[in-house]
Amino acid sequence: MVKKMQIDILSPYGYCKGVIHAINIVKELRKNNPNTPIYIWGNLVHNNHVTDALKKLDIITIEDNLKDKTIEKLSKLKKGFFVTTAHGANKKIVQEAEKLGFLHISATCPIVSNIERKIEKEINENKKEIIYYGIKNHPELEAIISINSQKIHAIYSKNDLNKYNLNNMSLAVQTTVLIDDLKAIKKCLPNINLINNICNETTIRQTKLNEIKDSYYDRIIVVGDKKSNNTKELYKIANNKSKKTMFINNAEELSKEIINQDEKILIVSGASTPKAIVDQIIDYVKFGIKIELDDKKILL
């Protein structure tokens, strides 16, 4: 009997505008400064294929989990560009890097920058404090808190709300959290002013995935880096939709049992997952061919 495989891709797929913006900034920087060291503090975007492709352009990623040791590490490096990532950056570290003689280049997503400005305005002009819901240790959260650590209070679940007197507070959230988590928090705080900042790129993918009938697909393959919060949130939704949900980073993680099966498959990918990886996975699942990755395609 001929096997009938169906593969659908959840649209949109490929990079969001913020990721394209960040990649273009560092590519231009390298093109115009072929001999100057370029360091990125943390992953430019949360995808290891992008980090690896940048490394081949001699653009070095410095771990962002060094905390207090970051400046010590920087002080030992040859001076050059200090690039901060699409997620934003801790303002204090940027200042310290500049004091050391590095030239700061921001690759922050314009949507994140806009949220930072809104939060600053809420604190400075409207005299409010902020409850900020996000993911512990995520660079976007750390960047936001660094705006004013006295007036911005991080929460990681709605249970954390009990710790605060919520008078004169506004609520803001990380751009990539689950819409349902925001709704649950907002329900506890019906009168709070919400600086609504979940990114559209995140909501569209989440909403479309939510709309799919449970068990319609035999298998859902979520593609992205495990560091990517928006991809992790998509995985949480997908996991409730299909018994055979997988979270993989590239075709290397697939075994041959998956090739050309009689299955209905949905491929879902995060906002920092390269299209080339999704295409590689489709080729493997359909034909059993693992196409080698092309750095040019990873970096657009």
Contact flag: residue 275 with ligand SF4 (CB under 6 A)? no
Strands (E), 125-275: 129-133, 152-155, 169-173, 193-195, 219-223, 244-248, 264-269
Piece in contact with ligand SF4 (CB under 6 A), picked from 32-40, 108-116, 158-166, 240-248: 108-116
Contact flag: residue 86 with ligand SF4 (CB under 6 A)? yes
Piece in contact with ligand SF4 (CB under 6 A), picked from 17-25, 178-186, 187-195, 261-269: 17-25
291 CA to centre of own chain: 25
Contact flag: residue 19 with ligand SF4 (CB under 6 A)? yes
Rounded CA-CA distance 272/13 in Å is 9
Q: Which is nearer to ligand SF4, 129 or 201 (CB)?
A: 201
**b/e string for 163-193 if b means 16 or more Cβ within 10 A?**
eeebeebbbbbbbbbbbebbeebbeebeebe
Residue 43 Cα distances to 46, 55, 103, 140, angstroms: 6, 11, 18, 12
End-to-end CA distance of the chain: 41
Piece in contact with ligand SF4 (CB under 6 A), picked from 11-19, 57-65, 97-105, 180-188: 11-19
Contact flag: residue 108 with ligand SF4 (CB under 6 A)? no
Rounded CA-CA distance 77/69 in Å is 13
Contact flag: residue 199 with ligand SF4 (CB under 6 A)? yes
Piece in contact with ligand SF4 (CB under 6 A), picked from 58-66, 184-192, 198-206, 208-216: 198-206
Contact flag: residue 230 with ligand SF4 (CB under 6 A)? yes
Residues found near ligand SF4 in the complex (CB under 6 A): 16-19, 86, 109, 111-112, 175-176, 199, 201-202, 230, 271
